[in-house]
């Protein structure tokens, strides 16, 4: 399976002008690059999803297909689209919420769920996250489930306990076969938005903890279907340590996704 790089643009691109500039820079950064081994997902704010889909969707790198003369085909699958959150219900009187069905209909394939910033600022609980996870899958989206320990939890030796608990809670409503439709992102809270990065060993350890708990709940056959990626201060300098060496299947990139050139350089490293 391809590795994945997800750009979490968070609450940025404040105007249409900023968004258009970003899209132009991203198109330029990505053009003529060989990125066939990596799945690129961008998660802009909801209001920009439609424009991102139109601009960076499937047909930005047309090449002539030798078999179907005259028909253009994508050189690779193009940039895929994800959202930064969604609600657990499909439709109805839920003022201010966004349904997974709306996201699907706008062209999203992925949705970030359980991000530490939402746990912190919106008080999202494990149970709410598990409702969103199951609803997203049932409505055709792939959740990118974020889990990770805080600094004080790591310092008091609770990393394994916290990671395991978050996995168990968030996946409490899914069936084993659904694991292939899930990406689990290990994002230590102390690394997100800081410049503190875990060592390759710490990331590898977290990966093993996640694997172990998946095997315990779902059995080996299904456990290996879930993709496990890393998030937190990912940059060109750090991507090998964060992703490649510990055997992660991709990365979730925050700040560096706001600079298309840097983001695509990270994608190229993962692509190799």
Active site amino acids: 115, 187
For ligand PGA, the binding residue among 3, 4, 8, 166 (CB under 6 A) is 8
For ligand PGA, the binding residue among 231, 246, 250, 260 (CB under 6 A) is 231
The footprint of ligand PGA on residues 47-86 (CB under 6 A) is none
Distance CA 245, CA 262 (A): 20
Task: Rule CB under 6 A: say whether 233 interacts with ligand PGA.
Answer: yes
CB of 73 to ligand PGA, least distance (A): 32
For ligand PGA, the binding residue among 234, 242, 243, 266 (CB under 6 A) is 234
Q: Name the packing angle between helices 49-56 and 16-30 (round to 10°).
A: 30
Binding part of the chain for ligand PGA, among 26-34, 127-135, 213-221, 246-254 by CB under 6 A, reads 246-254
CB of 196 to ligand PGA, least distance (A): 9
CA distances from 178 to 3, 41, 107, 136, 248 (A): 19, 20, 21, 11, 20
DSSP helix/strand/coil, 147: strand
CB of 44 to ligand PGA, least distance (A): 13
Number of shown-chain residues binding ligand PGA (CB under 6 A)? 11
CA distance between the termini of the chain: 14
Alpha helices in the chain (DSSP H): 16-30, 49-56, 100-105, 116-121, 126-138, 151-155, 159-170, 200-218, 220-223, 239, 260-271
Q: Which two tokens stand for residue 237?
A: 């300098």
The footprint of ligand PGA on residues 101-120 (CB under 6 A) is none
Binding part of the chain for ligand PGA, among 130-138, 165-173, 174-182, 251-259 by CB under 6 A, reads 251-259
Task: Rule CB under 6 A: say whether 241 interacts with ligand PGA.
Answer: no
Output the residue with the shortest Cβ distance to ligand PGA.
Answer: 254
Distance CA 27, CA 86 (A): 27
Chain positions contacting ligand PGA, by CB under 6 A: 8, 192-193, 231-234, 252-255
């Amino acid at each position: 399976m391809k590795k994945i790089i997800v750009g979490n643009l968070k609450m940025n691109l404040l105007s249409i002008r900023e968004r258009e500039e970003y899209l132009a820079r991203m198109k330029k950064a990505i053009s003529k690059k060989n990125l066939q081994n990596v799945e690129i997902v961008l998660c802009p704010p909801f209001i920009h999803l439609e424009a991102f889909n139109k601009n960076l969707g499937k047909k930005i790198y047309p090449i002539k297909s030798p078999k179907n003369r005259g028909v253009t085909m994508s050189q690779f699958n193009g940039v895929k689209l994800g959202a930064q959150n969604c609600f657990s219900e499909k439709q109805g009187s839920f003022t201010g919420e966004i349904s997974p069905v709306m996201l699907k209909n706008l062209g999203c394939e992925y949705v970030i769920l359980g991000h530490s910033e939402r746990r912190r600022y919106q008080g999202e609980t494990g149970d709410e996250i598990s409702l969103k996870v199951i609803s997203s899958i049932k409505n055709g989206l792939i959740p990118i489930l974020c889990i990770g320990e805080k600094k004080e939890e790591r310092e008091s030796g609770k990393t394994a306990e916290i990671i395991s608990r978050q996995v168990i809670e968030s996946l409490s409503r899914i069936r084993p076969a659904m694991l292939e439709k899930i990406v689990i992102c290990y994002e230590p809270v102390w690394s997100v938005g800081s410049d503190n990065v875990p060592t390759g060993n710490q990331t590898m350890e977290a990966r093993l903890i996640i694997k172990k708990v998946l095997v315990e709940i779902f059995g080996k056959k299904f456990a290996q279907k879930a993709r496990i990626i890393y998030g937190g201060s990912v940059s060109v300098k750090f991507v090998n340590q964060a992703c490649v060496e510990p055997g992660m299947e991709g990365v979730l990139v925050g700040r560096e996704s706001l600079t298309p050139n840097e983001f695509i350089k990270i994608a190229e490293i993962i692509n190799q």
